[in-house]
Amino acid sequence: MNRASLEQELLRSHQRTKELAERDNLTGLANRYYFDESLCHEIKKQQRDKSKLALLLIDLDYFKFVNDNYGHDIGDQLLIAVTKRITSCLRGSELFARLGGDEFAITLTNLESAFGASTVAKRIIESLQKPFEIGHHVITSGASIGISLCPSDSTDVKELFKYADIAMYRSKSDGRNQFCFFEAKMQETFLENFLIENQLRSALTNDEFYLLYQPVISPLNGKI
């Protein structure tokens, strides 16, 4: 093998290795590593340009039900089909990634206002309304979307993810198949619920619960 051929083979090998490191094997989308790196870059660029950026976290509703009832092969095919539908809602300039499992993320850049993010979120939710035909199965799959904004919510990658995640769980708790923007009061509610859950777990472990009976009194004669 001559020098030129060797260099071309090394280049192809490097490109294959780079793609494996940055791409999700199933969907071909960017993976979590590449998305995080790109988001850091976009935040720095946004700060220079004084523009707005939105992070959308997307979680499929009832995906575990699909895996448990139809098998992981059908679940994988559903993820591929969902990827195609969501991609059709985008212009092509956005960064679209699969973070793992049934969780996806999109970065929207150069926004004039939050309206641009809500428009994309609406298109995604509407695109998933039509049932998917996979094999012999007809599967309905919606999505819950949480949105955080830079710089109004944060300019830190970890905080933007945390806030979008909190907003996404609010979407789920409010009925699923919808989107929600992060608000500061959500974090207070999230932390309060987290503390209550921890206290309940501790109380169960330490056998701290006790039973109280509330009397039922007749309004007719006042007797119990």
CA–CA separation, 87 vs 85, rounded Å? 5
CA–CA separation, 39 vs 41, rounded Å? 5
Q: Which residues are catalytic?
A: 102
Per-residue pLDDT of 46-58, as tens digits, reads 888 788 899 999 9
Contact yes or no for 145/57 (Cβ under 8 A)? yes
Per-residue pLDDT of 65-115, as tens digits, reads 999 999 999 999 999 999 999 999 998 889 999 999 999 999 999 888 889
pLDDT at 6 over 70: no
Confidence of residue 3 (pLDDT cuts 50, 70, 90): low
- Looking at per-residue confidence, does 184 or 60 come out higher? 60
pLDDT at 17 over 70: no
pLDDT the model gives residue 183: 86
Closest residue by Cα to residue 147 from 116, 192, 101, 185: 116
pTM of the model: 0.76
